[in-house]
Structure formats: C-alpha cells, structure tokens
A and B are shown apart, each in its own frame.
Chain A
Amino acid sequence: MNRTESKARDDGGALLEVRGLTVTFGTPRGDVDVVRDLSFTVDRRQTLGIVGESGSGKSMTSLAVMGLLPKGATASGSIRLDGVEILGKSDAALRKLRGNSMAMVFQDPLSSLNPYYTVGLQITEAYRAHHNVSRKAARAVAIEALDRVRIKDPHLRIDHYPHQFSGGMRQRIMIAIALCCEPDLVIADEPTTALDVTVQAQILELMADLQAETGTGMIFITHDLAVVSQVAQDVVVMNGGVQVEAGSTEQIFSAPQHDYTRALLAAIPRLDDDLEELKMVGDFRTGATR
C-alpha cells in the first residue's frame, strides 16, 4: 500500500479544531454536562494527550468528535475537521468520515472485536466501507495491514478469530482496523490500559512508528500521566468534564500551574522514590480525606 496524498489538504491549518465543546446528558433530574466548554487543537503528525481520572469526560469527548455519542447525549460547540464543521452533520455524512478520515482505537481490544467473525473480515469490512473494491483486493489490503502492525504470518492469521490472539495482538488488530483507510486523525481511548506493561511498551512503540510513517494526527486519551508524558507533544488535563490545564507536555510536567495537576503528579507511584507528600491530595469526587 503506498501512502497516497493525505485526504486532508495540508494547508497549514489545524487538522482538528474543537471549540467550546459541551456534551450534555438529559436525565430525569435535569440536564447534566459531562463535558463543558472544552477547546483544543490537533495538528498533523502531532499527538495531543488528554489525561484525567475516571469519569472526567475523556471518552465522551472522543465519542463526540466521532459522532458516536450514546443515546441521550448531545454535543454543542464546534468541531472542525480540516476546516470543515462536522458537529451537527447528518449521520450519513459522518459515516463517510468515520473510519475513513478519522478512526478510533478503543480500550478493551477483546470486547471491541466481534468474537463471531475472523479478524480478516473485521478489517476488510472497514476498508470496503469506504472503497469500492472486490473481496480479494480488500483481503490483500487486510493482509498488508496486519503486516504493518507486525503480526507474523499475516496471510494465515487473517483467517483467525479474535480469541485466538493475545491481548497485545488484539490491540494490534484494532490498530490495523483503524489505519487501513489511512485516516488523517486517530483517536486512541486508553489503548494500553488493559495491557501488561511490557505489551504496553510494544504497542506504544508501534503507534509511534506508524504515526511517523503515515503522518496522522492523534488524540491519545489515558489516565496514566507517565504514558501521556511519553507519547504527546501537547496535553489537556481534565477533571469533572472541564479542562483544568493545557499546554505543551514539557510545560505541564515541569511547571504545572493548577493544584489539581500538581496533586495528580504527586500521586504517581514512582520507581526511584517514595510517594510525595499526600496531604494535598483529596478524594476529588467525594471530598473524603484521611
């Protein structure tokens, strides 16, 4: 597969520009904003990290960009992909973008793959959703996609089912699915959280290599500050649906401005030292203290 011209015109403008994104759930007890007034940009060849503890609205943000919010949730604000407003587009129009211009890698690779179908089918259907090609041609693409994510014997493995792969290989397959249409933007929502550290290291390396090869822009969502410090150029720290702090990775990690960011950094267990003082870390959602 030779790398064709990026589908997006590389005219210097940001690949993804999110402005004032608010995601609201209508509940019987009134509307709840799970993401409020969030703004960020993602450039080509760049990785934006979004960090925050569970429930801070990271996944809702990514689903809002993909236009895949669950029932009951509505997004407002502005989401521009390559200069074009996509928030509020019809589902049919969004479908043409999903998988094609923007793709997603999810947290749990086993449950994110359908156990009833071979990985080959699950890759080819993604390709064929956007390319009018024969089964055979799509299969060749899928074999190459598996090869690109460094799965050995791709021509044999293509006919295997998800449960026949290890956790790390399943995530490689998810990445192959996401990359098979050469999207401009990849959103990875906790892609390594379910994996062992050694496997995580391999997957992170693979993602970095592929990004260098293809030049895609990436949103990397995680709760793990150390991981985000390694993969992202820019970071958004979220808490309770709002942006706490944003800036370059170096800035966030060497001179955090907000108390919340500082508390988070202090709470990371480290390999070279004992935990820093914990007095300042409260249980943010409950106010419990010890």
Chain B
Amino acid sequence: MSAGEPLLEARNLVKEFTTNTGGVLSGKKRAFRAVDDVSFAVGRARTVAVVGESGSGKSTTARMVARLMPADGGSVLLDGEDVTHGTGAALKHFRSQVQVVFQDPFSSLNPRHTVDRIITAPLDYQGMGVPGGKRQLVKGLMERVGLNPDHSGRYPSQFSGGQAQRIGIARALAVKPKLLICDEAVSALDVSVQAQVINLFKSLQAEDGYSIIFIAHDLAVVRQIAHDVVVMNRGAVVESGTRDEIFDNPTQPYTRSLLAAIPTINPEWEARRRVNEQRERAALT
C-alpha cells in the first residue's frame, strides 16, 4: 500500500463465533466466521479506513488488531514483529504503541472519574514517568485536542458529545502511541462536531505522524480522512487500495453499490451556493 516497511500489518486474521441456529431449544450450534482471512497494512503517518455495512466484521477486526480479543487465526505485526500472542511486558509495550478510541464517547469514559484521572489512566497502567509532571501533560493534551485545560477537574457528563470524544482522544494520546484505532469514533457526532473531530485527527497526524486505523460505515467521512481504504463485506475484504482508487475507480460491484447509495445534494445547488458565498465574501472585503 505505501512505500517502506508498514507500521502495522494484519495477516489473514480470522475470528469465529459459535451461534445457536434454529433457536436455543434446538441446541444446534454453528461456527460462523465474523472475520474471514482479513489482511491489510498500515503505513507510517497514514490513515487506513476500514469500511463496510454493519455486521461486516469491522469492529471485530479492530478488536483483534488492538489485542482486545484473541484471533482464531492469522497474525498481527507491529514494526515487523509478531505481536499476536505476546503477554506480560510484550503486551504492555504493545499497548503503549497502539491505542483505541471508541464510538460512544460517554460509555467509554468512567463517569465517576475526572478528566484528569481518565487521561492519565493509561500512563498509570504503563507505569510511565512523566517529565514535567502529570498536571502539565494533561493540560498540554487537553489543549492539543481543543479542550479548555482549566476543565481538567470536571466529569465526563459535564461535556458535550464532541468534547467527550476529545477526552477519549486525549486519553489515547497520553502514552504517545504510534497507532490510533478509531472504531466509529465520529459516527455518533453531529455533522459540525464530526467535521471538527475529523480535522483534529488530520492535524494530529500532520504534526506528530500518528498512523490511524479509521473504522467507519460512512464513506463520505472516510473520503475526508483516509489515505488507504479497505472495503469489507460479510467478514471478508472485498477490495482495498488508495482512497482515490476506491472512490474514483472501484472495481467491485459491492463497492460501487455502497458508493451509489450515499445520499448527495444536487450538485447544481451546491455550485450555486458556493458561487453565492464567494460573491458575498468578495463583497465584504
């Protein structure tokens, strides 16, 4: 996908769940592949988007990559090293390199902890010392993600959805990871807030070179943030490529149908609106 050795590689990941078919009473169990032979690579300072409809296995893939769920097959390589089964110190190191931001900002933040404590929790887990002190670090991080640093003593419920998501991002950044995994991190947000958070991710990446796995079902959002795109359907990769390859020249009918279904505003109206706005701005100056 990208030149040079990728930061992270997922190779042939498989996850099976057993389900009851025909009702609990019949007791017939069947293994079902939620993730079936999924491979992709994430380059340094690049964003790989994993897209697909609900139930296509995006979250399960993310969980396996983040080592939040054991894989039933395949492997995960970070910096060329197999990290699929590492435990103890190896796992701890992995967690300092890879952090996750979840969809629902509120349910992924402990409502009884202050922002201060939430953001430093991964540091405590890592047992990392902080030069300059934790207070300073929290303030710095809050500023970076666009929160008022004076609010570090507040609780999650005192923030709006967009702000809560920023807290989640600040927490992920605390241990200075190399890779952020964002599972539908902007899906629950209103469009204006969503746009802000997308821009936040982009500027963080531009400044500090994070790699990002961006999981989303909204292709228009993905179009704004991704360098590379992996399209999933029923647990398998349908096609993958650079953003422009996927959006401009999709080869698979499934990808095409996804793209075709996105509602769009009449382009003529759009063009007129922009012309109008430019004219007004010109008139102002």
Q: A201-B261, A288-B163 are in contact. Are A271 and B223 (CB under 8 A)?
A: yes
Indicate whether B194 reaches chain A with its CB closer than 8 angstroms.
yes
B window 190-219: CB within 8 A of A: 190-196, 198-200, 217-219
Of the candidates A53, A197, A201, which one forms a contact with B219 in the assembled complex, judged by CB atoms under 8 Å apart?
A197
Indicate whether A74 reaches chain B with its CB closer than 8 angstroms.
no
Could you tell me the distance between the alpha carbons of A62 and B260 in the complex, rounded to whole angstroms? 31
B192 near A284 with CB under 8 A, answer yes
Q: Which of B80-88, B116-124, B127-135, B270-278 contacts A (4 or more CB under 8 A)?
A: B270-278
CB within 8 Å: A-B pair count: 129
A278 near B273 with CB under 8 A, answer no
Of the candidates B194, B221, B266, B276, which one forms a contact with A255 in the assembled complex, judged by CB atoms under 8 Å apart?
B276
Of the candidates B194, B200, B257, B273, which one forms a contact with A269 in the assembled complex, judged by CB atoms under 8 Å apart?
B194
A224 near B263 with CB under 8 A, answer yes
Which 5 residue pairs are nearest across A and B when measured between Cβ atoms?
A290-B146, A53-B190, A254-B269, A267-B195, A254-B272
Indicate whether A200 reaches chain B with its CB closer than 8 angstroms.
yes
B191 near A264 with CB under 8 A, answer yes
Of the candidates A54, A167, A275, which one forms a contact with B224 in the assembled complex, judged by CB atoms under 8 Å apart?
A275
Chain A residue nearest to B195 (CB atoms) is A267
What 0/1 readout, one digit per residue, does chain A (178-204) give for beta carbons within 8 Å of chain B?
A: 000000000000000000111111001
A254 near B273 with CB under 8 A, answer yes
Q: A264-B191, A269-B224 are in contact. Are A198 and B160 (CB under 8 A)?
A: no
Could you tell me the distance between the alpha carbons of A175 and B167 in the complex, rounded to whole angstroms? 39
Indicate whether B245 reaches chain A with its CB closer than 8 angstroms.
no
A225 near B265 with CB under 8 A, answer yes
Q: Which residues of A contact B261 (CB under 8 A)?
A: 197-198, 200-201
Of the candidates A53, A227, A266, which one forms a contact with B263 in the assembled complex, judged by CB atoms under 8 Å apart?
A227
Q: Which residues of A contact B148 (CB under 8 A)?
A: 288
Q: Which residues of A contact B155 (CB under 8 A)?
A: none
Of the candidates B53, B260, B264, B266, which one forms a contact with A196 in the assembled complex, judged by CB atoms under 8 Å apart?
B53
Indicate whether B262 reaches chain A with its CB closer than 8 angstroms.
yes
Could you tell me the distance between the alpha carbons of A109 and B203 in the complex, rounded to whole angstroms? 38
Other A-B pairs, 12, CB within 8 Å; known A167-B54, A262-B277, A271-B223: A53-B192, A198-B258, A199-B53, A223-B190, A225-B191, A253-B270, A254-B270, A267-B194, A275-B195, A275-B198, A275-B199, A283-B160
Indicate whether B259 reaches chain A with its CB closer than 8 angstroms.
yes
Of the candidates A229, A282, A286, which one forms a contact with B265 in the assembled complex, judged by CB atoms under 8 Å apart?
A229
Q: A253-B266, A274-B224 are in contact. Are A283 and B273 (CB under 8 A)?
A: no
Q: Which residues of B contact A256 (CB under 8 A)?
A: 273
Q: Which residues of A contact B106 (CB under 8 A)?
A: none
Q: A53-B190, A290-B146 are in contact. Are A269 and B269 (CB under 8 A)?
A: no
Q: Which residues of B contact A263 (CB under 8 A)?
A: 192
Q: A229-B269, A271-B223 are in contact. Are A281 and B194 (CB under 8 A)?
A: no
Could you tell me the distance between the alpha carbons of A198 and B219 in the complex, rounded to whole angstroms? 12
Of the candidates B200, B223, B267, B268, which one forms a contact with A290 in the assembled complex, judged by CB atoms under 8 Å apart?
B200
Q: A255-B273, A264-B191, A269-B194 are in contact. Are A226 and B265 (CB under 8 A)?
A: yes
Indicate whether A265 reaches chain B with its CB closer than 8 angstroms.
yes
Chain A residue nearest to B263 (CB atoms) is A226
Q: Which residues of A contact B193 (CB under 8 A)?
A: 283
Chain B residues in contact with chain A, CB under 8 A? 53-54, 146-148, 159-163, 190-196, 198-200, 217-221, 223-224, 247, 257-270, 272-273, 276-277
B160 near A285 with CB under 8 A, answer yes
Q: Which residues of B contact A288 (CB under 8 A)?
A: 146-148, 160, 162-163
Could you tell me the distance between the alpha carbons of A268 and B194 in the complex, rounded to whole angstroms? 9
Could you tell me the distance between the alpha carbons of A250 and B266 in the complex, rounded to whole angstroms? 9
A269 near B192 with CB under 8 A, answer no
What 0/1 readout, one digit per residue, does chain A (25-60) give for beta carbons within 8 Å of chain B?
A: 000000000000000000000000000011000000
Could you tell me the distance between the alpha carbons of A270 and B224 in the complex, rounded to whole angstroms? 8
Query: How far, in Å, is B48 (CB) from chain A's closest CB?
Result: 18
Chain B residue nearest to A255 (CB atoms) is B276
Could you tell me the distance between the alpha carbons of A200 and B217 in the complex, rounded to whole angstroms? 13
Query: How far, in Å, is B185 (CB) from chain A's closest CB?
Result: 14
Chain B residue nearest to A230 (CB atoms) is B263
Q: Which residues of A contact B192 (CB under 8 A)?
A: 53, 263-264, 267, 281-284
Indicate whether A289 reaches chain B with its CB closer than 8 angstroms.
yes
Chain B residue nearest to A265 (CB atoms) is B273
Could you tell me the distance between the alpha carbons of A66 and B190 in the complex, rounded to whole angstroms? 26
Q: Which residues of A contact B273 (CB under 8 A)?
A: 253-256, 265
Q: Which residues of B contact A275 (CB under 8 A)?
A: 195, 198-199, 224
Q: A197-B258, A254-B273, A283-B193 are in contact. Are A268 and B265 (CB under 8 A)?
A: yes
Query: How far, in Å, is A270 (CB) from chain B's closest CB?
Result: 6
B160 near A271 with CB under 8 A, answer no
